[in-house]
Amino acid sequence: MSRLPLHTFESAPEASRPFVEKAQANNGFLPNLVASLANAPTALETYLTVAAINGRSGLTLAEREIVQITAAGIHGCGFCVAGHTAVALKKAQIDADSVEQARTQQPIGNPKLDAVARFTREVIATRGAVSDAQLATFRAAGYTEANALEVILGVSLATLCNFANNLSQNELNPELAAYRWTPAAQPA
């Protein structure tokens, strides 16, 4: 059960209602992430605005979804891993084995997607202070300086969603149940 109220269009603060309505129309259901973010209209607006901007980046949909799955896995956000798994499989057309590898933070087997996943992990681990060698490796995989900054854009979007879900402890919507993910146990 969510620790924060899960709003509907009717119960959401007035300033959140247009965003709730848009999210419901875009998804065919109201994701619990959006329902909880509706408690703070500016947080919900930021999420949807940054998501739209991220969608215009130079990274492909598949690359953007690998950033999201990688970051959500690192941040322990099962809700976001599940949601982005659905998008990766259905819209980005990433094969199921590659998505599973991304979900478990393992090599994907696609040089470009592996480079994005690795760079995403490095950005998070170093809080953006990647080494010259890490940046050079990313660029050698065919990416640009703009793409490096777009990975950071994706990580910032993921951080908002992941942390909001972790705070809210949102349950997974039934529409995402087939994509459920739980973090692997960490060694003591």
Domain at 50, CATH number: 1.20.5
Do 128 and 153 sit in the same domain of this protein? yes
Shared-domain flag, residues 30 and 99: no
| pLDDT at 158 (0 to 100) | 98
Q: Which pLDDT value is given to residue 147?
A: 98
Residues 39, 75, single domain; the answer is no
pLDDT score at 185: 61
Q: What is the pTM of this model?
A: 0.94
Residue-by-residue pLDDT tens, the chain, 188 positions:
899 999 999 999 999 999 999 999 999 999 999 999 999 999 999 999 999 999 999 999 999 999 999 999 999 999 999 999 999 999 999 999 999 999 999 999 999 999 999 999 999 999 999 999 999 999 999 999 999 999 999 999 999 999 999 999 999 999 999 999 998 765 54
* CA 86 – CA 105 distance, rounded (Å): 17
Please tell me the total count of domains within the chain.
Answer: 2
Residue 184, in any domain of the structure: no
Do 92 and 44 share a domain, yes or no? no
Cβ count near 8 (within 10 Å): 13
On whether the CB atoms of residues 179 and 85 are closer than 8 A, the answer is: yes
SS in 3 state form for 115-181? HHHHHHHHHHHHCCCCCHHHHHHHHHCCCCHHHHHHHHHHHHHHHHHHHHHHHHCCCCCHHHHHHCC
94 & 43 share domain: no
The pLDDT value given to residue 157: 98
Distance CA 139, CA 70 (A): 19
**Does 188 reside within a domain?**
no
- Tell me: do 75 and 38 sit in the same domain: no
Whether residues 50 and 132 share a domain: the answer is no
CA distances from 52 to 9, 11, 40, 49, 179 (A): 21, 25, 19, 5, 23
Which residue range(s) make up the domain with 153? 60-167
